[in-house]
Amino acid sequence: MTSGGTAEMPKKILVIGSGPIIIGQAAEFDYAGTQACRSLREEGVEVVLVNSNPATIMTDEDMADHIYIEPLTVPVLERIIERERPDGVLGTMGGQTGLNLLVDLEKMGILEKYNVKAIGTSVESVEMAEDREQFRDLLSRIGEPVLPSFAVETVEDAVEAGRKIGYPAVVRPAYTLGGTGGGIAQNEDELRKIARGGIAASKVGQVLIEHSLLGWKEIEYEVMRDGEGNVITICNMENLDPMGVHTGDSIVVAPSQTLNDKDYQRLRTASMNIITGLDIKGGCNVQLAYRPSTMVAETVGEGAGYDDEGSMYYVIEVNPRVSRSSALASKATGYPIARVAAKIALGKTLDQISNAVTEKTTAAFEPALDYCVVKIPRWPFDKFPGGDRSLGTQMKATGEVMAIDRTFEAALQKAVRSMENGRGSLLWENPDWGGEGPPDLLADDDRLWKLTAAIRGGRTAESVSIETGVDPWFTRAIARIIGMEHRLLGEELTPDLMRCAKRMGFSDAQIGTLGDYLPEQVRTMRKDWGLKPVYKMVDTCSGEFEAVTPYFYSTYEQENEAIATGRETAIVLGSGPIRIGQGIEFDYCSVHAAWALQKSGVESVMINSNPETVSTDFDTSDRLYFEPLD
């Protein structure tokens, strides 16, 4: 059923949703599930959906042929399977909830009882990726570097593993999402506490005690594979924060900015070997720790991958399903990962699936980016000011924003403006810091502003990098932004200076603050000088083929690719990042507004900054602008 179209395509599929929104599992799974349902129905498949969340587009009546708003439990799923008699179950679109339920249905014999197949990635492959010991064994078999670690099921075994590995030690529970139950232990007492919680949080009562790679780079590859073994990488992403901060809590940049080509290809090859070794059929997220040869760090245990220049890496973990990173990669590249994965689950191969953005190429073409994407998480500390604001291996973000521009500096500043967290720009400094700047550069929700304030206060980019582990490439970029701040403070505002500032992502309000003008005055001058943004298209192929799905971002260059259609048009303003009190329900409303306009014959234009949502899907509206809502 899942091998490259050689078996009969299933006619009826049960899709398992992800349930309620929680920290670590948010709108990205509504997006993935919605796209999967639509993709399956495009192929003439009858879709049965079960989910318990009423706020999502996924549970809307148009998304599936049969929708059950029911608790996501094994007994409920069995009753639905007994009633609907689907040919297959798709459990890789509903986050960890869907994945765990798929494994339970297989283990309890329910799939076999009703002659139902797990379509796409098999349960065996899921277990191999999720079970820490099985995954270690796989890496050893395929020759990928294995970090010194022990899979344990008791606190005492965890303590023994800690003695062998040394401290700090990382605790990673099996079968959890967002690092739930994990942490970094600095000593035996901390290890006992974290291991106890991790074992309790794990679906199978198992945690991995792992050597710490604090300070190493974290690199992710989003990979796609079909049932015939064809593999492509869709996007590689680089965390601005080093290892020790959960990727969901880290600023992420796509494509990677600091890898040389040799190491990029090494890590890409490793990711493709892993998805092949796991026999994944669909999408997969591979997370790697990487230490470049130029990085000063202590030597770690045997088993890392070295090249002749001394660079090394370790494989951290794999998500054998769509993830939050998958949503980001989809929006960053214009490649609809969940849509393609759903068709692969039916047995189609990558070359048989059309690229919905170009309609001229196939899903077998790797996306090419001629721009830079920056994601910044949105944390809930405005609602919980007394909470622990430190960032570690357990994810705390409730949502995220994404920005696109030609340079990292411009995309970073756009993303900051999208966050709606009261900061507004990188000019913000915490009043509690006083005139001496931030008291520390520890990882928390203010870390980006701490880095900026430290450099603004006279620290060198290199010294900040040594203290934090943030690559000098990024801290030097922040230093360039601060250099422009100094120019705007000290020089007369001219067309050339304003153009340089706009190309670096400075808003009219920032320029006004630094140059002692009102934002309206800056805007008037800018327009008088003919400095207006143009809009470039996200087309998956760096302009090699024309896109039929208009998806735009602004930049200060010459050629404009967003040509007005002349039709009657209405703009739908999206709701920005998900946060406590403003969740997925407003994305639901935005999507329905766009659809209603289209049905009325009006061109719908969506503006939003949230990469997790259905509203920013490539085909929800007639035109999409990925921009800050300001």
Considering the domain architecture, whether residues 153 and 286 belong to the same structural domain is answered as: no
- Examine the pLDDT at 543 and tell me if it is beyond 70: no
Last residue of a domain, one of 82, 101, 119: 119
pLDDT above 70: percentage of residues in the chain: 95
> Does residue 1 surpass a pLDDT of 80?
no
Same domain, yes or no: 206 and 227:
no
What b/e string do you get for 298-334 counting C-beta neighbours within 10 Å, with b at 16 or more?
eebeeebbeeeeebbbbbbbbbbbbbbbbbbbbbbbb
Give the pLDDT confidence score for residue 6 in this predicted structure: 47
169 and 92, same structural domain? no
573: pLDDT strictly greater than 70: yes
Q: How far apart (Å, rounded) are the C-alpha atoms in residues 485 and 93?
A: 44
- Give dist(CA 414, CA 502) in Å, integer: 11
Q: Is the pLDDT of residue 305 over 70?
A: no
pLDDT at residue 545, rounded to an integer: 64
Task: Give the pLDDT of residue 436.
Answer: 80
**Does the pLDDT value for residue 308 go beyond 50?**
no
Average pLDDT of the segment spanning 174-194:
87
Residue ending a domain, choose from 333, 367, 401: 367
Determine the pLDDT at residue 7: 61
Domain shared by 302 and 332, yes or no: yes
143 falls within a domain: no
Task: Kindly state whether residue 547 falls inside one of the protein's structural domains.
Answer: yes
Q: Is residue 405 part of a domain?
A: no
- In this predicted structure, the answer to whether residue 422 has a pLDDT above a threshold of 50 is yes
Question: Which pLDDT score, from 0 to 100, does residue 281 have?
Answer: 96
Query: Is 466 a domain residue?
Result: no
Phi and psi torsions of 412, nearest 5°: -60, -45
Examine the domain organization and report whether 221 and 344 are in the same domain. Answer: yes
Q: Structurally, how many domains does the chain consist of?
A: 4
**pLDDT of res. 304:** 58
Structural Rg of the chain based on CA atoms:
24
Q: Which pLDDT does position 3 carry in this prediction?
A: 41
Last residue of one domain, picked from the residues 367, 395, 417: 367
pLDDT confidence bin for 587, thresholds 50/70/90 = very high
Mean pLDDT of the chain: 91
Dist CA 159 CA 277 (whole Å): 31
Of residues 464 and 549, more confidently modeled: 464
> Are both 230 and 328 inside the same structural domain?
yes
Look up tokens 């090859």; give the residue.
Answer: 269
As a whole number of angstroms, the distance between CA 418 and CA 134 comes to 41
Arithmetic mean of pLDDT, 248-265: 95
How many Å separate Cα 505 from the centre of its chain?
A: 22
- Look up the CATH number of the domain holding residue 605: 3.40.50.20
Query: What tens digit of pLDDT does each residue of 222-239 get?
Result: 999 999 999 999 999 999
Decide if 504 is inside a domain: no
pLDDT above 50 (res 302):
no
Parallel, antiparallel or unpaired: strands 231-239 and 252-254 = antiparallel
298 in the same domain as 173? no
What pLDDT is stored for residue 357 in this prediction?
75
In a domain, 108, yes or no: yes
Is residue 172 located within the same domain as residue 108?
no
Q: What is the mean pLDDT of residues 418-432?
A: 93
pLDDT given at position 224: 96
**What CA–CA distance (Å, rounded) separates 479 from 464?**
11
* CA dihedral over 209, 212, 213, 215, signed as positive or negative: positive
Domain housing 30:
12-119
pLDDT tens per residue, range 95-152: 889 999 999 999 999 999 999 999 999 999 999 998 888 998 999 999 998 888 888 9
Positive or negative torsion for Cα 454, 456, 458, 462: positive
Q: How confident is the model at residue 550 (pLDDT cuts 50, 70, 90)?
A: confident
pLDDT the model gives residue 296:
40
The phi, psi pair for 417, rounded to 5°, reads -70, -20
Are residues 64 and 192 located together in one domain of the fold? no
Residue with more model confidence, 277 or 174 = 277
What digits encode the pLDDT tens for the residues 474-516?
Answer: 999 999 999 999 999 999 999 999 999 999 999 999 999 999 9
Q: Determine the pLDDT at residue 133.
A: 85
How many alpha carbons lie under 13 Å from residue 609 in its C-beta half-sphere? 31
- The CATH number of the domain holding residue 348 is 3.30.470.20
For residue 323, being part of any structural domain is answered with: yes
Residue range 154-183: average pLDDT? 88
Is residue 115 located within the same domain as residue 198? Answer: no
Q: What pLDDT, on the 0 to 100 scale, is given for residue 398?
A: 92
353-396 pLDDT, tens digit per residue, is: 998 777 778 999 999 899 999 999 999 998 888 889 999 888 99
What was the pLDDT predicted at 298?
40
Instruction: Name which of 25-39, 285-299, 436-450, 553-567 the model is least confident about.
Output: 285-299
| Structural contact between residues 95 and 285, judged by C-beta atoms closer than 8 angstroms | no
> CA 400, CA 275: separation in Å to the nearest integer?
27
Query: Does 234 fall in a domain?
Result: yes
Q: Burial, 618: exposed, middle or buried (Cβ in 10 Å; 0-12, 13-18, 19+)?
A: buried
Whether residue 323 is found in the same domain as residue 340: yes
pLDDT of 603 higher than 90: yes
Mean pLDDT value across residues 412-417: 98
- Residues 522-542, mean pLDDT to the nearest whole number: 92
Average pLDDT over residues 22-26: 81
Please count the other Cβ atoms lying within 10 Å of the Cβ belonging to residue 261. 7
Residues 157, 276, single domain; the answer is no
